[in-house]
Amino acid sequence: MARFIFITGGVVSSLGKGLASAALGALLQARGYSVRLRKLDPYLNVDPGTMSPFEHGEVFVTDDGAETDLDLGHYERFTGVAARKTDSVSSGRIYSNVLEKERRGDYLGKTIQVIPHVTNEIKDFIAIGEDEVDFMLCEIGGTVGDIEGLPFFEAIRQFSQDKPRGQCLFMHLTLLPFIKASGELKTKPTQHSVKELRSIGLAPDILVCRSEGPIPKKEREKLALFCNVRPDSVIAAQDLSTIYDAPLAYHREGLDQAVLDAFQISPAPKPDLTKWEDVSDRIHNAEGQIKVAIVGKYTQLEDAYKSIAEALTHGGMANRVKVKVEWVDAEIFDTEDAAPHLEGFHAILVPGGFGERGTEGKIKAAQYAREHKVPYLGICLGMQMAVIEAARNAAGISEAGSEEFDHESGKRRFEPVVYHLKEWVQGNHKVERKVGDDKGGTMRLGAYDAVLAEGSKVAEVYGGTSIEERHRHRYEVDIKYRDKLEKVGLNFSGMSPDGRLPEIVEWSDHPWFIGVQYHPELKSKPFAPHPLFRDFVRAAKETSRLV
Q: Which residues are annotated as a binding site for CTP?
A: 13, 146-148, 186-191, 222
Q: Rounded to an integer, what distance in angstroms lies between the CA atom of residue 271 and that of residue 51?
A: 40
Distances in whole angstroms, Cα of residue 417 to Cα of each of 239, 410, 420, 497, 500:
47, 17, 10, 21, 14
521 is catalytic: yes
List the 35-41 sheet strands across, edge first.
Answer: 88-90, 35-41, 135-140, 3-9, 168-175, 206-211, 234-238
Q: Rounded to an integer, what distance in angstroms lies between the CA atom of residue 382 and that of residue 376?
A: 10
Residue type (1 letter), 119: T
Q: Rounded to an integer, what distance in angstroms lies between the CA atom of residue 491 and that of residue 6?
A: 50
For 397, how many CA atoms within 13 A lie in the half-sphere containing its CB? 20
- The active-site residue out of 74, 172, 473, 519 is 519
The percent of the chain in helix, strand and coil, each rounded to the nearest 5, is 40, 25, 35
- The active-site residue out of 67, 380, 389, 506 is 380
Evaluate the CA torsion angle 219, 221, 222, 226 in order and state its sign. positive
On whether the CB atoms of residues 202 and 171 are closer than 8 A, the answer is: no
DSSP annotation of 82 reads P
Could you tell me where the DSSP H helices lie in 414-487? 457-462, 482-487
Residue type (1 letter), 242: T
Q: Rounded to an integer, what distance in angstroms lies between the CA atom of residue 115 and that of residue 152?
A: 11
380 is catalytic: yes
Q: Rounded to an integer, what distance in angstroms lies between the CA atom of residue 289 and that of residue 70?
A: 27
Longest dimension (CA), the chain: 75
For 420, how many CA atoms within 13 A lie in the half-sphere containing its CB? 15
Supply the DSSP string of 114-170, one letter for each residue: IIIIIHHHHHHHHHTTTTS-SEEEEEEPS-TT-GGGHHHHHHHHHHHHHSPTTSEEE
- The active-site residue out of 253, 403, 476, 521 is 521
Distances in whole angstroms, Cα of residue 163 to Cα of each of 21, 127, 197:
21, 11, 20
Residue type (1 letter), 486: E
On whether the CB atoms of residues 130 and 1 are closer than 8 A, the answer is: yes
Q: Count CB neighbours of 474 within 10 A.
A: 18
Which residue ranges are tagged as binding site for UTP? 13, 186-191, 222
Active-site residue numbers? 380, 519, 521
